[in-house]
Amino acid sequence: MAIPLLRDFDIRGKSVLVREDLNVPLEDGRVANSARIDAALPTIRHCMAAGARVTLVSHLGRPRPGERNPALSLKPVAKALGDALGCTVRLVDDWRNGAAVGSADVVLLENIRFEAGETTNDPALARRLAALCDVFVMDAFGTAHRAHASTVGVAEAAGAACAGPLLAAELHALGRVLDDPARPLVAVVGGAKVSTKLAVLESLAHVADSIIVGGGIANTFLLASGSQIGASLAEADQVDVARRIMTRIEVPMPVDVMTATAIDAVLPGRLRLRDEVGSDEMVLDIGPETARRLADQVAKAGTVLFNGPLGVFELDQFGEGTRVLAEAIASADAYSVAGGGDTLAAIEKYGVGEGISYQSTGGGAFLEYLAGETLPAVAALERRIVAPHRK
């Protein structure tokens, strides 16, 4: 994949418009988790150090198109950004006539989804955004799967466009997993439903050496293998899909599981052999022997992809499988890439982040890329290989 990169541009004294993913959780008017802000800082600092006039654009939440919802203002994000950068980050609400930005200044446009044409990739909005800059920098991997005015339209309308360091790092990490992985490649795919990750599972079945499944997805595979799963969450209509995948690639089934009759924080888990699940029980985690076997498998891997917990890890009695596997991934010599909100939450809960080679900031984009889909924002940059504003 060949795309223009920010490092190849001379941006001194120029206006740059940087699309970041600053869609962070807010609590009581403050940023509750700054992970996405932290991930964007290196790109912003690079532009500031290069002497560029920096304008940032991002969305927050899902306001109705054209509706300016005060609860979804980026004001708290501007404050958190300023604190992290050690400077004032001015929030600009009305930029129809431009946004005045001084040398080495940082300006943040108000929530781009307040603009009616954002999610429809309105050409007029894209041109307005392009008019704010000499160089457009797409750095928001988390929105690269959206063909919006601030991701695709402006990349096509701007005088020059390129990928920022964060986007480039995301593509490099995933390319290392999918295109030329150190073998064996072990993919860990958890989640509630096979149907939501069907394309990912089908794609990985062609590139991975084995797939470890967890959560409700694992229950569907257990059902496909002929095991009794009691009252567990599963998709009977995806059993044939699970069987097809199991004919293509190794999908290890648990030998023991943790069950309960309800998902309850105070209800203890019951250890069961795989074929001893009661009719009123739900499989909510793998058992200790299965966790040990999967940890041994991960320890021998050359590459590990981690996307989804193996159980209801939010409750400690059903989180041991996820903890053991997360610790095994972190301590393995393998190159490891993790992505997805629940996955990153589990990594944080068990304190294993330093052992993971790369943690992706993408959710939907992460899954679509794994499924082999073309990300519209990346495709737009590929079409901009000839860039007149390069050094």
Residues designated catalytic? 36, 193, 341, 364
Closest CA to 75 of 140, 128, 42, 31: 31
86-105: string of b/e by CB count within 10 Å (b at 16+)? eeebbbbeebeeebebeeeb
Which CA distances in Å does 223 have to 233, 328, 388? 10, 27, 57
Give the 3-state secondary structure of residue 2: coil
The neighbour count for residue 157, using CB atoms within 10 Å, is: 19
Distance between CA atoms of residues 252 and 290, nearest Å? 9
b/e 73-84 (16+ beta carbons within 10 angstroms → b): bbbbbbbbbbeb
Which letter does DSSP use for residue 180 in this model? S
Q: How far is CA 20 from CA 143, 145, 241, 281, 346, in A?
A: 9, 13, 37, 44, 24
The terminus-to-terminus CA distance of the chain in angstroms comes to 21
Residue pair 313/346 in contact by the 8 Å Cβ criterion? yes
Kind plus residue range of the DSSP H or E element containing 286: strand 282-286
Which residues are CB-contacts of 173 (< 8 A; sequence separation ≥ 6)? 337, 357, 358, 360
Q: Are 221 and 286 in contact (CB under 8 A)?
A: no
């069961």: which residue's tokens?
272
Preceding peptide of 309 cis, ω within 30°: no
Query: In whole angstroms, what is the distance from residue 362 CA to residue 359 CA?
Result: 9
**Which residue, 303, 290, 309, 307, is CA-closest to 332?**
303
